[in-house]
Structure 1
Amino acid sequence: MKRIMYKIRIQPQTAFATSLRGDTLFGQACWHIVESAGEEALTDLLEGYLDNRPFMVLSDAFPADFLPRPTLPLALLGFDLSDPTQRKLVKSKRWLDSIALHQPLHTWSEFLSTESDIAERLLGQRDAALWKEEIRNHNSLNRLTNTTGKGEHGFAPFERAYTWYHPQLVLDLYACVDERLNLDALRAIITAIGQSGYGKEASSGAGKFTLLDITEYIPPKPQGANAWITLAPSAPQGLDWISSACFYNVHVRFGRHGSSALSQGATPWKNPLLLADAAALLTPQAFDAEALWVGQGLTNLSHVIRQSVHQGYSPVVPIAAPDLSRIRES
């Protein structure tokens, strides 16, 4: 079955109350398919999802032409850590210019940037903030009386975190699809999510973005490639890895149902999931140079909708890594 990776370029238009993460975006894409084409259409697309045949795998969002720094000991990226005065600067270089994928791993320190570096390159303003965090106070309302209510449980304030992106900032998403989802369908899904809003508070205007472009993306295949960098949270558990040559941070996903599923049970919450966060470096026992994603589809995570699935897959880019197992041994 033919598989293609696309680079999707978007521009945020409003604040976001939910981070742009691949697994969350996939869930919202599924709900769009149900609402626009019916539940049967989604069921057909999900055939084989739990058997390494996902119809679509989505990445997190990153500043245009940059990727997250892989989760690796900094020395392997070529940093000189002997000068303690430079360690703070080294830690702030969290974004990798995508052209580094064509270069040896030990030279990647030369292609890593701080947020100020990216602001200067993408916005022409080194002092500009790529994004700003804001906390807003809210209070629960009684929808029948349109008031906060009375008594001990009438006043229920809570906080909501918002991310405001610079109005000129452009972000990249990566989507891997097979022949069941053509380019026009992918464009329609991303456009619809951008117009209706992504994540929390979408009904209040949050999470809106404009789709600028979708182009086919062919990841570079460096000579001697033997490992992958993930671009979204993934579920590598139980798969055939060289465990001593895998590096990742843990991400716990406290998922919840969306759309009409909120009215189908007593709780919108799914079972928590333990995932490897984006920017993991995973080394398989047998490397497949043509692979566009890794991980697995997840289910048995909802008491409300038993057939629910979660994207435990992640788009990947291949790299040529040294014998990483020796790093742990030393």
Structure 2
Amino acid sequence: MKLYKTTLMPVSSFATQLKGDTFFGMLCWAIRYKFGEEKLKKLIKDYDKNPFLIVSDGFLSGFLPKPTMPSQMLGENKDFKKENRKKLWISYENLINSKFSQAKTADEVGEILKEKGFETYKEKAEIITKNIINYTSFTADDPYSELEFVLPPQDIYILLDDNKFGLAELKEAICLIGQIGYGKNASIGKGRFEISDFAEILQWSSSKAFMTLSPCVLQGIGDTKECFYEPFTRFGKHGGYLASSGKFEKSPLLLANTGAVVVFKENRDIKFIGKMITGHSEQKDTIHQGYSIVLPIKLIGD
């Protein structure tokens, strides 16, 4: 499998965060619409053993999340706990070379993107108040609020088996999502984006420690020494034509959130961990991306 990176340039606000498992689900629908249901069924037939595609979260362009580990393992000054918690983003080079203390705050990253000339250079979350019109009484019912995100360019990492699904096909599927919209409220213009060219990530090495790039399942990943993670609960819903069905909700899933660190007892040469999830929906053929791309990191002191 080959690891690629592309940059999403948002052209509208988003009502759903760019999470890898959600993006994978939307890619499955895009493949179905673009290439047919039989193509999709063929691709996911052995997804439990040989995934054809794994997608990361969206990250501020040029950066990755700081690993989820205790402060002392990151080489941070323990006297500045409050400041350390604000340092969320780290460059690829600093991550793989264990320079975790070089992580930056969202404000610092925003200034870097601003200097590069990005029109939108800082992520903003806004609460939007809306009304539902009652067409019987021609009045507005009680108002409600929704959270929307204004995003700067976002890097997406994709691990692809191009013997099963070609890079050109992947580009077509992602472009389709960008046109119809990602996530919630796509029908009213949310979640639109364009993409840059795909760059293959060639640098790789074996390691004992790896960091995840999307929510995933950590159970059953092998002979581990220790794991560090924050829990993430996924309250999933069906997309496509199933979104308008009477049973569009899925059972909640408890996952390890992005940035989790897994330490094995011996060196490994792996590109992903996790497993496929099934049985969380009344739609029997439903699957969920419980896999995550991982990047090798070095622990301080090793």
Partner of 1:70: 67
| Count of matched residue pairs | 299
Alignment of 1:113 with 2:94, yes or no, is no
Deviation, structure 1 residue 286: 5.3
Partner of 2:212: 230
Partner of 1:170: 153
Checking the alignment, whether the CA contact within 8 Å between 1:6 and 1:215 is kept in structure 2 is yes
TM-score normalized by the length of structure 2: 0.92
Deviation, structure 1 residue 268: 0.9
Partner of 2:277: 298
In 1: Cα distance, 2:145 partner to 2:127 partner: 6
Query: Which of 133, 143, 163 matches 2:125?
Result: 133
Checking the alignment, whether the CA contact within 8 Å between 2:57 and 2:156 is kept in structure 1 is yes
Partner of 2:235: 254
In 2: Cα distance, 1:308 partner to 1:141 partner: 34
Residues 172 and 149 of structure 1: is their aligned pair in 2 closer, same or farther, counting only changes over 3 Å? same
Q: Which residues of structure 2 form unaligned runs of 5+?
A: none
Residues 43 and 141 of structure 1: is their aligned pair in 2 closer, same or farther, counting only changes over 3 Å? farther
Deviation, structure 1 residue 133: 1.1
The structure where strand makes up a greater share of residues is 2
Deviation, structure 1 residue 139: 3.6
Alignment of 1:189 with 2:187, yes or no, is no
TM-score normalized by the length of structure 1: 0.84
Greater Rg over alpha carbons, structure = 1
| Cα deviation 1:205-260 (Å, max 9, x = unaligned) | 000111012111124427xx212100000011233242x51000000000000111
Query: Which of 213, 217, 225 matches 2:201?
Result: 217
In 2: Cα distance, 1:160 partner to 1:132 partner: 14
Residues 306 and 139 of structure 1: is their aligned pair in 2 closer, same or farther, counting only changes over 3 Å? farther
Equivalent position amino acid for 1:18 in 2: T
Deviation, structure 1 residue 283: 2.1
Partner of 2:226: 245
In 2: Cα distance, 1:42 partner to 1:172 partner: 25
Instruction: Trace 1:72-91 onto structure 2 (pairs within 5 A).
Output: 72-81=69-78, 83=79, 86-91=80-85
Checking the alignment, whether the CA contact within 8 Å between 2:73 and 2:299 is kept in structure 1 is no
Checking the alignment, whether the CA contact within 8 Å between 2:54 and 2:158 is kept in structure 1 is yes
Checking the alignment, whether the CA contact within 8 Å between 2:209 and 2:261 is kept in structure 1 is yes
In 2: Cα distance, 1:323 partner to 1:65 partner: 26
In 2: Cα distance, 1:49 partner to 1:203 partner: 30
Partner of 1:19: 17
Alignment of 1:307 with 2:270, yes or no, is no
Checking the alignment, whether the CA contact within 8 Å between 1:241 and 1:284 is kept in structure 2 is yes
In 2: Cα distance, 1:312 partner to 1:323 partner: 31
Query: % of aligned pairs identical?
Result: 35
Partner of 1:5: 3
| Cα deviation 1:50-106 (Å, max 9, x = unaligned) | 12x11100000001121001000111111121x3xx332211111011111342x3x
In 2: Cα distance, 1:28 partner to 1:20 partner: 11
